[in-house]
Structure 1
Amino acid sequence: MDYTTRFNPSEDALLYWLRERVDRSMLEEIAMADYSYNYELHLSALLKVHQGEALPVPIPWEPREVLELTRWSEPDDLYIEKYKVSKSFNKGSKGIPGHLIRAFACTLLLRAVVEPENRNSFDGENSTIVQLVSSAIHLGQDAATATVRFLAWCVEQVPHHYETERPFYVMGILLLEVFLATDKKKKNSKKKKNAKETYCESLLLLCDWVMDEEAKVRNNDNVPSSDWLLGLTFFDIKHDTWKLLTRQLLIEPIVPHSKKTVEILELIGLSLLES
């Protein structure tokens, strides 16, 4: 089954959305992430991308290094303290500006990752994916919708012979779709029956998709551990964030899941949390 087309894949929708909101001062902050080393070169590269140019392939050190460092930023101190999430490696903007900065960096990294000539330059995309998903949720419905479309496009680009990270893209889409549905239910409790059924069908398909992708990797690779999903990779620096979002959205949602989806969402959530 071709799952991706259901989510209207788009390479550019998210980047266009971010470009309209990321200003020069935010690009300057990214460029300074490596203790301002090669600041001018990093900034020049970032400005070109912000103005519509594609990242060079293969991706050069400027801006790759500062994009990777910015990926680790945590714009919400309260979020860090309350949930014991790993502290960031660099100090930067907080709140919405911080999430715009991090989302911009993660988007560029994931666009670079799927280029065949960059394949040996990156590892552990699951960390970049979950940082992007978290920021998209903080930025609201429009950002989350654009991120779903972008991640669906990414899945299409990831070759099956390099599929270890594929399930994480799909899990990111699932978390975002649950967030979007929950957010809409909070704003409109009198949701039409047809819309509810479409939402349930979409989530059930997503659950099948993520379990199918996880099983493919587990059956084909020598995976690090038996832990569901998170055990597929050695790159675990942001596994706590995967667990946090999973708990918030699948296990302890603000608005209860529908009767049709609650069992499978809780099964997936508990499988990940128990890993």
Structure 2
Amino acid sequence: MPQWIRERFPPDQRSAVDHLRSLIDEGMLREIAEADYARDAEQHLAALKPIRNGDELRELHYWFPDEVLRLIRWSEPEDPEWKPGSTGLRGHKMRAFSCAVLLAVPNFEPDKETLIQLVDSVFLLGPGALEATAGFLVWRLDTLGREEDRPFFALALAAVAQSLEDSISSSMEQELADWVTHEESSERAYLASFCDSYRTAPWLFGLSFSDMRNNKWEMLIRAVRERSGPRPLGRMLTENHKA
């Protein structure tokens, strides 16, 4: 990871949750609690309140509130027909909060699908949410092992950092591009040691066991390329990802 990233966004397990919980009012919290057809809503609400109030991020109970957080994670605030979840910024706040909690607690296996749902929402919630998410992603990357979608987390952090640094230099972008490339190639080599087909698998997406929400990753890559243009990040993504 580039040193300037670590200095600009100090690692913080709580930063994303703490920023996002400040955006969640009682009505939103209850709506999250009622995500499972309002079943056991009071138990879910009781389990959610300490998190919203800033208590320690401990292991989640396997059902209260894990189940409703996982359901809201999949919500699509731009789709008025999607349930459970709300539409517009309200829905994005709920989804981002749910994803951030899941990714921050010790008994949730981090994955690129939950990550892109978080990133998709915080880009709409503004610079404060992006700043908080950047520090959280630095922390999360420090804790990730192999087979835990590390290259996707690196790409997400690079995208957030690029968007927050209006005066990002070409050399800073080059460090980001080299880092993402290194994370992808390291993961590819690791997986290829078990299955040779990974050596020729498509860049980045060929390393994942799931194609869920890949369309959102494609959108993120396009946005990074558009912001970068011919500079290092855009050039790296254009050379490696042809879609």
Per the shorter chain, which TM-score range? 0.7 to 0.9
**What's the secondary structure of 1:220's corresponding residue?**
helix
1:26-41 pair list within 5 angstroms: 26-41=28-43
**AA partner of residue 57 (structure 1):** E
**How far apart are the structure 2 equivalents of 1:201 and 1:20?**
36
Identify which of 186, 190, 193 aligns with 1:220: 190
Deviation (angstroms), 1:215: 0.8
| Shift in alpha-carbon separation, 1:141–1:66, aligned structure 2, 3 A | same
**AA partner of residue 162 (structure 2):** V
**What's the secondary structure of 1:122's corresponding residue?**
coil
Deviation (angstroms), 1:235: 1.9
- 1:137 lines up with 2:107 in the alignment: no
* Identity among equivalent pairs (%): 34
**How far apart are the structure 2 equivalents of 1:58 and 1:105?**
12
Q: Which residue of 2 aligns with 1:271?
A: 240
- Is the CA contact (8 Å cut-off) linking 1:164 and 1:232 kept in structure 2? no
**How far apart are the structure 1 equivalents of 2:96 and 2:22?**
13
TM-score, normalised with respect to structure 1: 0.77
| Shift in alpha-carbon separation, 1:200–1:143, aligned structure 2, 3 A | farther
**How far apart are the structure 2 equivalents of 1:130 and 1:212?**
20
Deviation (angstroms), 1:154: 0.3
| Shift in alpha-carbon separation, 1:214–1:140, aligned structure 2, 3 A | same
- 1:244 lines up with 2:219 in the alignment: yes
**How far apart are the structure 2 equivalents of 1:29 and 1:8?**
33
- 1:108 lines up with 2:101 in the alignment: yes
- 1:122 lines up with 2:109 in the alignment: yes
| Shift in alpha-carbon separation, 1:37–1:270, aligned structure 2, 3 A | farther
- Is the CA contact (8 Å cut-off) linking 2:11 and 2:136 kept in structure 1? yes
**What's the secondary structure of 2:65's corresponding residue?**
helix
**How far apart are the structure 2 equivalents of 1:55 and 1:42?**
16
Q: Deviation per CA, 1:135-189, whole angstroms, max 9, x where unpaired? A: 1100111111111111111001113xx34311111111111123224xx4xxxxx
- 1:171 lines up with 2:155 in the alignment: yes
Deviation (angstroms), 1:126: 0.1
Deviation (angstroms), 1:269: 4.6
**How far apart are the structure 1 equivalents of 2:63 and 2:79?**
29
Number of residue pairs matched by the alignment: 236
**AA partner of residue 235 (structure 2):** E
Q: Which residue of 1 aligns with 2:134?
A: 148
**AA partner of residue 138 (structure 1):** L
- Is the CA contact (8 Å cut-off) linking 1:21 and 1:100 kept in structure 2? yes
Over the aligned positions, Cα root-mean-square deviation in angstroms equals 2.4
**How far apart are the structure 2 equivalents of 1:240 and 1:269?**
17
1:190-201 pair list within 5 angstroms: 196=167, 198-201=168-171
**How far apart are the structure 2 equivalents of 1:138 and 1:269?**
25
Deviation (angstroms), 1:58: 5.6
1:72-111 pair list within 5 angstroms: 72-77=74-79, 88=82, 90-111=83-104
Q: Deviation per CA, 1:235-269, whole angstroms, max 9, x where unpaired? A: 2211111001211231x34xxx375xx24423325
Deviation (angstroms), 1:270: 5.6
- Is the CA contact (8 Å cut-off) linking 2:151 and 2:183 kept in structure 1? yes
Q: Which residue of 2 aligns with 1:230?
A: 205
| Shift in alpha-carbon separation, 1:110–1:122, aligned structure 2, 3 A | same
**What's the secondary structure of 2:28's corresponding residue?**
helix
Q: Which runs of 5+ in 2 are unaligned?
A: none
Identify which of 186, 203, 208 aligns with 2:173: 203
**How far apart are the structure 1 equivalents of 2:239 and 2:28?**
37
- Is the CA contact (8 Å cut-off) linking 2:95 and 2:121 kept in structure 1? yes
TM-score, normalised with respect to structure 2: 0.86
**AA partner of residue 23 (structure 1):** D
Identify which of 172, 176, 180 aligns with 2:164: 180
| Shift in alpha-carbon separation, 1:25–1:272, aligned structure 2, 3 A | farther
